[in-house]
Structure 1
Amino acid sequence: MYSVFSSCTCLCLHFLLLCLQVQVLAAEENVDFRIHVENQTRARDDVSRKQLRLYQLYSRTSGKHIQVLGRRISAKGEDGDKYAQLLVETDTFGSQVRIKGKETDFYLCMNRKGKLVGKPDGTSKECVFIEKVLENNYTALMSAKYTGWYVGFTKKGRPRKGPKTRENQQDVHFMKRYPKGQAELQKPFKYTTVTKRTRRIRPTHPG
């Protein structure tokens, strides 16, 4: 009788352990890693080498390019315009960038009122933007400090205030373009080709 009771107790314990393991596995499978990835993406990357790119940002609404004219910002630049050439530096593992006018050395920033301005010092978080590649292959630039506020322009190339912008508006859609005549200066990233490992030749020693 005691052995039967003992066997039943063991079976119950094994069953409870099995249920607990199933619950743990289910919980692990339902873990949402997007929050972790987003936090890591937004974290400052002070270790890696900063990636610097040169390109123009073509505005979908104005049909022109963003210009950093010192403290004034517009989207009226023609292709190849010196004020439309932007130096873009990655600030994190990939999505956060700082944008500086090559000609003026002023940074594209968004102040607390949502106004786009140029600043000579780009260390403030107001000068950091999150690049978001949209389904239509356009790029949107959201303020890293003021969530939900985007860089945007009217049809006349005038800046829109951040609080009046939305991700689905054409006003905030941009296309990256190389400056006119300078595409050949951009060095594409080259992958290292890995070939099959060859047999290692052992050095022969003189007898």
Structure 2
Amino acid sequence: MYSLLSACTCLCLHFLLLCFQVQMFAAEENVDFRIHVENQTRARDDVSRKQLRLYQLYSRTSGKHIQVLGRRISAKGEDGDKYAQLLVETDTFGSQVRIKGKETDFYLCMNRKGKLVGKPDGTSKECVFIEKVLENNYTALMSAKYSGWYVGFTKKGRPRKGPKTRENQQDVHFMKRYPKGQMEIQKPFKYTTVTKRTKRIRPTNPS
């Protein structure tokens, strides 16, 4: 009789706990989960295979392409220019990327003053940008470290400083274009083919 009473008490406690959890969930059902999703997409992805793409970035204002000329950055490249060919590597589960000049192996970065510079080492967060696809189908690149600062260029192809840029400015609008005569380059998946089943070796009993 005592054990039955204890079991009933436990069931009642479990039921009350479940009701409390349901109430808590109902109270928080209006929480905006977009913040959580955004935080997750900005987390570093060190598990998945990095996606590597090759393309050019056409500047809406200069009418030319971004060039990584070593430590110097410009938007004066013609279509197919070797310095305008960019290797773009995904850095997170979301839309963060690192951009490297194929010819120079220097990364496109933005320093603390908002100046666009080329660096040989792209591990710093200053070399990470967030891709934003705009309503006009152009792409904007916002610094992952300095929120609200964008990659931008003047009509003469000179870099604009990050603090002077805004998402709605044409100076920060770019279009992805493949180099002349080239298609998208991606690292192919490597599959492991198993041809024979390995026999399981059983340990021999000592005599």
Answer yes or no: same fold by TM over 0.5: yes
Identity %: 94
| Partner deviation per Cα, 1:26-72 (whole Å, 9 max, x = no partner) | 43431211111111111000010100000000001111100000000
Q: Which runs of 5+ in 2 are unaligned?
A: none
Q: Which residue of 2 aligns with 1:137?
A: 137
Aligned residues: 207
- Note if 1:128 corresponds to 2:111: no
Which segment is superposed worse, 184-193 or 78-87?
184-193
Find the counterpart in structure 1 of residue 98 from structure 2. Answer: 98
Mean CA deviation greater in 192-201 or 172-181: 192-201
Point out the more displaced range, 158-167 or 11-20.
11-20
Q: Displacement of 1:136 after TM fit?
A: 1.0
Counterparts of 1:64 and 1:34, CA distance in 2: 36
CA deviation after TM superposition for structure 1 residue 135, in Å: 1.1
Question: Is 2:58–2:175's contact at 8 Å kept on the other side of the alignment?
Answer: yes
1:30-69 to 2 correspondences below 5 Å: 30-69=30-69
1:206/1:168 CA distance change after superposition, 3 Å: farther
Change (3 A) 1:23 1:141: same
Deviations 1:121-151 (A, max 9, x none): 1011100001111111111000011111000
Q: Which residue of 2 aligns with 1:187?
A: 187
Normalised by the size of structure 2, how large is the TM-score? 0.78
- Pair 166,74 (structure 1): closer, same or farther in 2 beyond 3 Å: same
Instruction: Tell me, in whole angstroms, the C-alpha distance in 1 between the residues paired with 2:74 and 2:62.
Output: 10
Tell me: CA distance 1:189–1:159, structure 2 relative to 1, closer, same or farther (3 Å): farther
Taking a change above 3 Å as real, the CA distance of residues 71 and 199 of structure 1, as seen in their structure-2 partners, is: closer
Contact 2:129-2:143 at 8 Å conserved across structures: yes
Alpha carbons of 1:154 and 1:28: their partners in 2 closer, same or farther (altered >3 Å)?
same
Kindly tell me: are residues 4 and 154 of structure 1, through their superposed partners in 2, closer, same or farther at Cα, counting changes over 3 Å?
Answer: same
Across the aligned residues of Structure 1 and Structure 2, the Cα RMSD in angstroms comes to 6.1
Q: State how far apart, in whole Å, the 2-side matches of 1:27 and 1:20 are.
A: 11
From the superposition, tell whether residues 2 and 201 of structure 1 become closer, same or farther in structure 2 (CA, over 3 Å). closer
Give the whole-Å Cα distance in 1 for the aligned partners of 2:138 and 2:204.
Answer: 60
C-alpha distance after superposition, 1:80-139 (max 9, x if no partner): 110000000000013110000000000000000000000011011100001111111111
Is the contact between residue 60 and residue 174 of structure 2 (CA under 8 Å) also seen in structure 1? yes
- In the alignment, the residues of structure 2 paired with residue 26 and residue 194 of structure 1 have an alpha-carbon distance, to the nearest angstrom, of 51
Q: Which runs of 4+ in 1 moved over 2 A?
A: 1-29, 183-207
Q: CA deviation at 1:162?
A: 0.2
**Whole-Å Cα distance in 2 between the matches of residues 204 and 52 of structure 1?**
50
TM-score by length of 1: 0.78
**Higher mean C-alpha displacement, 8-17 vs 175-184:** 8-17
Q: Which moved more, 1:9-18 or 1:150-159?
A: 9-18
Shift of 1:157: 0.5
